[in-house]
Structure 1
Amino acid sequence: MALLHVDFFSGVLGMSMQMDVILPQQTNGQIGMEEKGVQGKIPTLYLLHGMSDDHTIWQRRTSIERYVSDLGIAVVMPTTHLGWYTDMAWGNRYWTFISKELPEICRSFFANLSDRREDTYAAGLSMGGYGALKLGLSASETFGMAASLSGAMDVREIGKSLDDEDGKHYWQSIFGPADMVVNSSNDLFAEAVRLKESGKPLPKLYMWCGTEDFLYEQNVDMKEHLTKLGYDLTYEESPGDHQWKYWDEKIQSVLDWIMKNRNSGL
């Protein structure tokens, strides 16, 4: 594998940004690694971080480079700060950045990345799980598969539950007043309905959450919602709370799910 640390400028955000990128490489003789190159265009996984983290976290907390070494896919790990993958009510346009500008930038930097939705995937944890599912539901023309680990599925309820003024101000800077979130483009429950009714291609979806996680009930509610709407959803749960020892394990399940569905077509 090749690991690249990329500093670049975002016109949408008007500032310099960072991403780490793993690219497949055909090698011989690397100790303890099986690696393969790719014939043709390379499928790409956009792997998103949670609230307290940045573009380095998946490499620091998991063995993601080793996990993808023999899969023939690229992994793009961008930093997105605390913008919740939204065009903030008062702030930067992180949704436009992550859903449109970033894939275009990556494909211009790395011309061998595929631009087909069948080859473009999103995954993330916690805040990044919300972002990944949002990419699947709100940018399905670009992302053919999306996976959430311990995702924050219901930003409507999170906003209502905040009881300190600093938390409320931060939340409203992203989503606006709590009563404006319902049925907005940031409401994943509403976005799932709108996409289903639109006639646009539906993504394949994967969700996992630990049964002791504080976001567990939100994940169960989303599972039931997506199932009723007829989405192709793979849902898993198991004992666990909100920590990396579970995400390190379950990102491997996500990769297995991606490869299975990639080989069966979308």
Structure 2
Amino acid sequence: MAFIQCEFFSETLQISAAMNVILPQDKDRLFPTLYLLHGLSDDHSAWVRQTSIERYALSRGIAVVMPAVNRSFYTDMKHGAKYWTFVTEELPGLARSFFPLSSKREDNFAAGLSMGGYGAMKWGMTHPDRLAAVASLSGAVDVQSWADERGGEDASNVFGEASSIPGSPADLFTLAEQVVSRRPIPLLYQCCGTEDFLYEDNVRFRDHCRKIGLPLTYEEEPGDHEWGYWDTKIQRVLDWLPLRR
């Protein structure tokens, strides 16, 4: 397994950008890829520093791409850079040009924690033709609630007025209603610890998906918003992914 720290220029962001990549060492093969997204206070190094993701990916034969997006909420920010366009449009093409990664939908997945859980769900439900499965770990799945209760300046920079979120492309509840009638629908996975401050938001999103008939694998158990929980649950996500053996 190779661990690659990759720095490059982003045409979208117009700055130097970074991603960490875990890559199997296997010749003559294009690898399935998990885009693994970080949380609000983290960066592209967090998953490697705080979990054993490299060891977990090794046994599954999957590449893992971990980009840096600052405090952007994986959004083309109201006052800031176009991180949504960067992650969903520019990044996959660049990663595939640098590394032997499969471009097939059935080989591409996204997952993330907290802010990254929101980003993964948003990616999968906005572009269901590009990703076969997405997973949210303790995700900030109700961004209006986050913006109203604790978003502060971050929320203003990302979304502008919180009142603009409902019904917009940033609203996972609206995206869920739109994707439920589309084909193909990516597999969706959601988990949250029952002691997490985002637990009620996650229950609300789970119930919404069930109400509209959107298939969703949901799991909860005792746990807080911390790395011990995410280190355990990312192993569950890797087992859940529909990897072609």
Same fold (TM over 0.5): yes
Match of 2:87 in 1: 98
Aligned to 2:155, which of 171, 176, 181?
A: 171
The corresponding residue for 1:86 is 75
| Corresponding residue for residue 101 of structure 2 | 113
Cα-Cα RMSD: 1.4
Q: Tell me the CA shift for residue 229 of structure 1.
A: 2.7
Aligned with 1:68: secondary structure? helix
Equivalent-residue separation in structure 2 for 1:69 and 1:158 (angstroms): 35
Q: Is the 8 A contact 1:24 1:38 kept in 2?
A: no
- After superposition, what is the alpha-carbon deviation per residue over 1:174-216, rounded to whole angstroms, capped at 9, x for unaligned? 011011111111000001111223x342110111100010100
Q: TM-score, normalised by structure 1?
A: 0.88
Separation in structure 2 between the aligned mates of residue 168 and residue 218 of structure 1, nearest angstrom: 18
- The equivalent of 1:31 in structure 2 is none
Cα deviation for residue 221 of structure 1 reads: 1.2
Q: Shift of residue 67 of structure 1?
A: 0.7
- Using the size of structure 2 for normalisation, the TM-score is 0.96
CA–CA distance in structure 1, aligned partners of residues 70 and 29 of structure 2: 33
Corresponding pairs, count: 245
Q: Name the counterpart of 1:51.
A: 40
The answer for unaligned runs of 5 or more in structure 1 is: 26-36
2 CA distance for matches of 1:170 and 1:233?
29
Work out the percentage of aligned pairs sharing the same amino acid. 53
Gaps of 5+ in 2: none
Contact residue 38 and residue 72 of structure 1 kept, 8 A = no
Partner of 2:141: 153
Q: Is the 8 A contact 1:151 1:215 kept in 2?
A: yes
Output the CA distance in 1 between the equivalents of 2:59 and 2:148.
Answer: 44
8 A contact 2:144–2:165 mirrored in 1:
yes
Are 1:239 and 2:222 an aligned pair?
yes
The aligned counterpart of 1:134 is: 122
Q: In terms of Rg, which structure is larger?
A: 1
What amino acid does structure 1 have at the position aligned with 2:29?
G
Amino acid at match of 2:233: K
Q: Secondary structure at the match of 1:91?
A: coil
Residues 247 and 151 of structure 1, relative CA distance in 2, 3 Å threshold: same
Measure the CA separation in 2 of the matches of 1:207 and 1:86: 20
Residues 203, 232 of structure 1: 8 Å contact kept: no
Displacement of 1:70 in angstroms is 2.0
